[in-house]
Amino acid sequence: MAIPISYNFRNLWTRRLTTVLTLSGMALVVFVFASILMLAEGLRKTLVETGSHDNVVFLRKGAATEVVSGVSRDQASILETLPEIASNPKGQKLLAKEAVVLIALPKKRSGTPSNVVLRGIGENSLFLRPQVKLVEGRLPRVGSPEVIVGISIAKRFVGIGMDETLCCAMRDWRVVGIFDAGSTGFSSEIWGDVDQFMQAFRRPGYSSVIFRLRDSSEFQNVKSRVENDPRLTLVAKRETKYYAEQSEIMAKFLRILGTSLTIIFSLGAVIGAMITMYSAVANRIAEIGTLRALGFKRRDILTAFLAESLFLGFLGGLVGLFFASFMQLITISTMNFQTFAELAFSFTLTFEIIYKGMFFSLIMGFVGGLLPALRASRMIIVDALRAA
Amino acid sequence: MFFLKILIRNAFRNRLRTSLTILGMTIAILAFGLLRTFIAAWYAGVEASSATRLVTRNAVSIIFPLPISYREKIRQINGVKMVSHGTWFGGVYIDEKNFFPNFAVEPKTYLELYPEFGLSPNEKEAFLKDRKGFVAGRKLINRYGWKIGDIVTLKGSIFFGNWDFVLRGIYRGRDENTDETQFFFHWDYLNEGLKKRGHVWGDQVGFYMVGVTQPELATDVSLAIDHQFKNSLAETLTETEKAFQQGFIAMSGAIVTAIQIVSFVVIIIIMAVVANTMAMTTRERIGEYAILKTLGFRGLHIVGLIFGESLVITMMGCLLGIALTFPAAKIISAELGTYFPVFNVERETLFLNLGATGIVAFIAAIVPTRRAIQIRIADGLRRIG
């Protein structure tokens, strides 16, 4: 027969201060662990959702991002003749030639400048990005110095609110609308007419060309045709892949940082749990002796103490995850190392992170409780009873 | 001395518990020290920059160039001692994982403006004479095992194509915080190649580095430069090298802040562990405290005993942690040299370690002490275990 679980609960309750201290140590570790995973997940989700699977992006060979890429006008025209491009009901090809530049804008909170993506869009750019929705104002007119601003940065930067003018490249750009692209990277961009941008920023060519595939399975055809064409020094990528690649370095950085931090922290918490459990055992030597004399087996004692420590871990995990779930309300805006541009993303909690956090916390409880529980179970009845 | 002896004896009465606590403290101090060093490494570029150097770049953002014709105009401005120019090349060596900063610079003025890059006179001459030549830092050379005269090919990410360079010199940092992982070559070589391809960056530079005669003139000179090019096709933004470097870090400020917060969390975690130990210790010794009180010792003596014991335990962990920080930093510096060219433990970090230890010891002892001095003698004596 096993020792009743209520015995363990009562024991934890009797040593409230110790229990709370151990628990809060574990909860903090789980909190940090979950938060960093949530951050990496948020970044990944933002960039993965930015692309659409059926869109193909063309960049210059060797260029990892649109900012350093260049597609000349004649190369763009060659791409326009590809047969695999989908067309809209009017019969126009769903292809957009875009120019992307970075401009430095001061942040509202700190006043320090940060790089923002300025994307020159064509007529079809909005069709190709169905996530983008105008929430205020109107779209920029073709051929005029008007821009629309993504909702994530409209609030964070100086001078790009509705009806304000943005000054750069010797032109005044009027903000005529605010758009929301959900939790995608586009929400951190400014969009305007591509020909206006190219003229103002003196760009002889586009940065990238993007089109929708007529049939998603034709991607390989397009890729091999374009990459083998000696006139085109371009590479083709699915839009989803292009954006996923942009999250790689930073997500890896966050993951390495998170894992190494958590391992170090958890050592601290395991030691805390171990101290607590050792003292729980030491204080109850007589009790353990009595239990053994009553007929409980060594195995039962081991299970009871392990259960107590696991329960401690479980509570710690619960508390840590509870507080970590509030982190979802926070959005972080920082520079993505790879694109060199501002990107807003929020902490995202997934079931996987919950499992991982919980599993981790239980492991901490288990490791912390194992040695003390072994000690308790190995006691010799007579010695234990005499200790009282 | 006698008092210290009591404290140490007391601390080690429960050897297992105390050792575990010290171990926890060691880990926490180690983590705290490394995180601080990590943040310092982030700011290493700022620390290493000079106050007498200005950086002029395109006002729109760093990705836009400035015409080479600005060079002479900047040189005419009062207070300017020397002008050099450069372009961020962004070349990739074999694979994107092998990251190191590479620039095209005007070599003669650049080496004069940056005396911290120490080159022997022979190497300097060889580098200046060879248009395809490049110079790289000691750490970078060690990483890839290049030898003088080797041809190194970089794949351009901004400037398309493969570019060959010949190693002509290895520089050593003059100061401890000089970045020894840089790679620089002749701007003329880049410019020639770009002009051949009809690239828009032909005769354009990424930034100018301006040396001023006196540091006090830096503000005036930077204003004068920006004023000179106001309302032109390429307006400029001039700031001190420090501000320029700081600008890069400010952009990734959210991450630095997160690491800073996390470095305090580890201290809070260890606080919970130490407080736990102290709570147990005093709970076991309530009877003893009652006896001490009976003998005529005051509450203050007991306070001294508990706080002293807490301090002894944490301090041991702290010293161990500090001792371990140095070898750990060495290992990390060897492993992550690609990302952090400078990874040195600063003296300030050690003081912060000691400060944090004191705070942990103090806070961990507060609650147990309150219990110990409030208990009445009779209650204390009656209580068992």
More confident residue, B248 or B320: B320
- Same-domain status, A195 and A336: no
pLDDT given at position B269:
85
The pLDDT-based confidence of B385 (bands split at 50, 70, 90) is: very low
Per the prediction, chain B carries an average pLDDT of 88
Nearest to A17 among B21, B23, B279 (CB): B279
CA dist A368 and A281 (Å) reads 13
For testing the chain A interface, which of B267, B273, B286, B318 should be mutated: the one with the most A CBs within 10 Å?
B273
| A121 and A213 housed in the same domain | yes
In a domain, A81, yes or no: yes
* Mean pLDDT of the B233-251 span: 84
Tens-digit pLDDT profile for residues A256-288: 878 888 888 888 888 888 888 888 888 788 888
Give the domain-ending residue among A177, A202, A232: A232
pTM metric for this prediction? 0.80
Are the beta carbons of B247 and B55 closer than 8 angstroms? no
Distance from C-alpha of B251 to C-alpha of B247, rounded to nearest angstrom: 6
**Residues A19, A153 within the same domain:** no
* A326 vs A319: CA distance, rounded Å: 12
Whole-number pLDDT of residue A68: 83
Question: pLDDT digit string (tens) for B275-289?
Answer: 888 888 888 888 888
Q: How far is B63 from chain A (nearest CA, A)?
A: 7
**Inter-chain contact B96–A24, Cβ cutoff 8 Å?**
no
Q: Which of residues 38-57 of A touch B (CB under 8 A)?
A: 39
* Nearest-angstrom CA–CA distance, A171 and A98: 19
Q: Is B17 on the interface with A (CB under 8 A)?
A: yes
The average pLDDT across B334-346 equals 78
Question: A166, A271, A283: best mutation site toward chain B, by most B Cβ within 10 Å?
Answer: A271
In three-state secondary structure terms, A378 is coil
Q: Which chain B residues contact residue A279 at CB under 8 A?
A: 17, 280
Q: Is the pLDDT of residue B15 over 90?
A: no
Q: Quick one: tokens of B168? A: 């002509």
CA distance, residue B273 to nearest chain A CA (Å): 5
**Domain boundary, last residue among A232, A260, A293:** A232
DSSP state of A365: H
Question: Across the interface, do A110 and B279 touch by the CB < 8 Å criterion?
Answer: no
Among the candidates A170, A197, A232, a domain finishes at A232
Residue of B nearest to A104 (CA): B61
Is the CB of residue B60 less than 8 Å away from at least one CB of chain A? yes
Would you list the domain boundaries of chain B?
A: 2-44+253-382, 60-234
Are A222 and A285 within one domain? no
> pLDDT higher for B1 or B331?
B331
What is the spatial distance between Cα B157 and Cα B39, in angstroms, rounded to a whole number?
Answer: 29
Query: Which residues of B are less than 8 Å from A333 in CB distance?
Result: 254
H or E segment at B1?
none
- CB contact residues (below 8 A), chain B span 246-275, against chain A: 247, 250-255, 258-259, 262, 265-266, 268-270, 272-273, 275
Q: Please tell me the distance from the alpha carbon of residue A246 to that of residue B232, in angstroms, as a whole number.
A: 35
Whether residues A319 and A218 share a domain: the answer is no
Q: Which residue of A has its CA nearest to B254?
A: A334
Q: Which residue has the higher pLDDT, B144 or A4?
A: B144
For residues B254 and A334, the answer to whether their CB atoms sit within 8 Å is: yes
Among A264, A279, A333, beta carbon nearest to B31:
A264
| pLDDT above 70 coverage of chain B, percent | 99
B318 touches chain A (CB under 8 A): no
Residues A179 and A326 in one domain: no
Q: Note the pLDDT of residue B174.
A: 85
Same domain, A301 and A271: yes
- In this prediction, residue A267 carries a pLDDT of 85
pLDDT (0 to 100) of residue B267? 87
Residue A55: inside a domain: no
Residues A318 and A271 both lie in one domain: yes
Chain B environment of A114 (Cβ under 8 Å): 250-251
Are A169 and A280 in the same domain? no
Report if residue A91 sits inside a domain: yes
In a shared domain, residues A252 and A356? yes
Low-confidence ranges of chain A (pLDDT < 70): 1, 388
Cβ of A271 within 8 Å of Cβ of B273? The answer is yes
Which residues are paired to A150 by β-bridges?
A179
Give the single-character DSSP code of B168. Answer: E
Span B86-95, mean pLDDT? 89
Selection from A93, A66, A98, A61 nearest residue A80 by Cα: A93
Q: What is the pLDDT of residue B383?
A: 64
Closest by Cβ to B20, choosing from A24, A201, A274: A274
Are A28 and B61 inside 8 Å of each other by CB? no
Would you place residue B255 in the very low, low, confident or very high pLDDT band (cuts 50, 70, 90)? confident
pLDDT tens readout for residues A12-48:
888 788 888 888 888 988 998 898 889 888 888 888 8
Q: Tell me the C-alpha distance between A276 and A77, whole Å.
A: 72
pLDDT at B170 over 90: yes
pLDDT given for residue B384 in this prediction: 55
pLDDT higher than 90, residue B148 = yes
Same domain, A207 and A88: yes
Answer whether B303 touches A (CB < 8 Å).
Answer: no
Domain that holds residue A208: 62-232
CA distance B69 to B205: 10
For residues A328 and A221, membership in a common domain is answered with: no
Q: Which long-range contacts (CB under 8 A, 24 or more apart) does A202-206 make?
A: A202/B200, A202/B233, A203/A99, A203/A101, A203/B200, A204/A72, A204/A73, A204/B200, A205/A70, A205/A71, A205/A72, A205/A73, A205/A75, A205/A76, A206/A70, A206/A71, A206/A72, A206/A73, A206/A76, A206/A97, A206/A98, A206/A99
Hunting for tokens 């529980």 — which residue is that?
A: A373
pLDDT > 90: what percent of chain B?
42
pLDDT value for A18: 81
Q: What does the pLDDT read at residue B77? A: 93
**Tally of domains in chain A:** 2
**Minimal CA separation from B167 to chain A, in Å:** 24
